Amino acid sequence: MKTRYLLLLLFLMPLMSLHAQRSAVYNYFDKGIDGLVAEANSVDTEYEEEKSNHVYSRMFSSPILYDAVVSKAFSCSEEGEEAESEMVAMDEKRAAVIDKLLLDVYATHPDRIVMTEEELRSENVYSGVDDKGKQPSITFDKPMMNIPDNVDGGMKTTVVKPKYWSTGGRVGLKFTQNYISGNWFQGGESNNTMLGEFDFDLNYDDKNRITFKTHFDVDLGFATTKADTLHSFKTNTDRLRIESTLGYKLVKNLDLSAKMKLESQSLPNYPTNSHDFVSNFMAPFDANFSVGLNYKPSWEKFRFEIYVAPLSAYNYRFVRYGDLTSRYGIRAGRHHKEDFGTQVVVTVPSQKIFKIVDWYSRAEYYTNYARAFFQWENKFDISLNRYLTASLSLHARFDDSARGLYDDEYGYWQIKEFMTLGITYSW
């Protein structure tokens, strides 16, 4: 009997050992599964930032045509700097994947697009949260975009042509008035003046190398004086001028330029109590053509140009009335003269030097090394309001070829100054 129990015990011992091993394996895997479940359950507390990440909002909202997605797709720029943290770097990777998904929608299913980003920004998309703590609702007042029927798996593209031409100008009408009674203790004369101004600019710029600028200005002023018994009024300012410059950019701020200037007047001008005019239309007429270098420094607070044409300036003067030719330096029996020389032009475009004061200046010098010509124009516009402007003009001129204009006090120098008040409109 003892032998029988011994044999049964020996048979059961391996089975008990096998059962114990199997229980240990089960416990191992049970603990592993429990650990995974616990880790999964901890997402709600450990990864709240991931659950509310704004990067995912574009995936689960209505399809919107975002400008940044399209801009990045057509951009040739390199990737930006490395992210400051691992979280930011991960967000950038997620955003890149979402951008690709959205771009695929734009290209293959444009009819699914609800609206553009610009339309989205113009909407009142946030309706608020109610008292019961419900999530905010998003509402759109505008209907969905109307997609043309001819769109077949592609995007509608609008081509915007660059603007090469530009125009601008100014028109003004200004007056001065002075009244003096006949018995005024200091004496004097009453007079009235009127000045009309018109400026027009036509410019071309291909945004690369070629520029073309044309400036046309007309100044015409009249004055009355009791001392002149033959004329009710006379012209005191009269100028017709057109100036064009064609430029080719050589390097930054330096152009190879061809310049043309034509200048004359529109009406005759009479001395006091005289029927013989001393100037008229095409009497004189001055033309200048030159090729030189134009330097335009790019200063923020002050703009100016310096044009130099060494030995490449052609100057032409014409007087159509024979009795006026000697007055303007033309030999008797001829109506014109011409020569070559050097030209220098310094221009200060109209710009603010004070809060309400604009300054324009143009200085021109020409010489053929036998004679010299110089003129300097300055104009100060004081803006009293949007349309009312007070102006001060200073004009100095030197021309030693005009023998008939020599003065014992000033020599060949000529000075002109006047101040006006009037209405000016610019565009």
The predicted pLDDT at position 278 comes to: 92
pLDDT in tens, 33-75: 666 656 655 544 444 555 556 677 777 777 888 878 777 777 7
Q: Are strands 191-205 and 357-367 parallel, antiparallel or unpaired?
A: unpaired
Distance of alpha carbon 48 from alpha carbon 335, whole angstroms: 94
pLDDT average, residue stretch 150-157: 54
What is the 8-class DSSP label of residue 231? -
Share of the chain above pLDDT 90, in %: 37
pLDDT in tens, 227-271: 888 888 889 889 999 999 999 999 989 999 999 999 999 999 998
Do residues 101 and 188 share a domain? no
Average pLDDT of the residues of the chain = 80
The predicted pLDDT at position 39 comes to: 63
Helix (H) or strand (E) holding 370: none
Q: Would you say 195 and 220 are in contact if contact means Cβ atoms under 8 Å apart?
A: yes
Do residues 234 and 93 share a domain? no
Beta-strand runs (E) in 184-300: 191-205, 210-225, 234-251, 254-264, 285-295
Query: What's the CATH number where 303 sits?
Result: 2.40.230
Domain boundary among the residues 156, 185, 212 is at 156
Q: Would you say 343 and 313 are in contact if contact means Cβ atoms under 8 Å apart?
A: yes
pLDDT band at 282 (very low <50, low <70, confident <90, very high): very high
Q: Would you say 296 and 325 are in contact if contact means Cβ atoms under 8 Å apart?
A: no
Distance of alpha carbon 25 from alpha carbon 13, whole angstroms: 19
pLDDT average, residue stretch 292-303: 87
pLDDT in tens, 357-401: 999 999 999 999 989 999 999 999 999 888 899 999 999 999 998
The predicted pLDDT at position 281 comes to: 95
Which of 210 and 92 is assigned the larger pLDDT?
A: 210
Q: Are strands 64-65 and 210-225 parallel, antiparallel or unpaired?
A: unpaired
Do residues 146 and 180 share a domain? no
Q: Would you say 282 and 318 are in contact if contact means Cβ atoms under 8 Å apart?
A: yes
Residue 81 inside a domain? The answer is: yes
Domain boundary among the residues 109, 125, 156 is at 156
Taking the CA atoms of 63, 68, 73 and 79 in sequence, report the sign of the dihedral they define. negative
Question: Distance between the two ends of the chain, CA-based, in angstroms?
Answer: 127
Domain boundary among the residues 137, 156, 175 is at 156
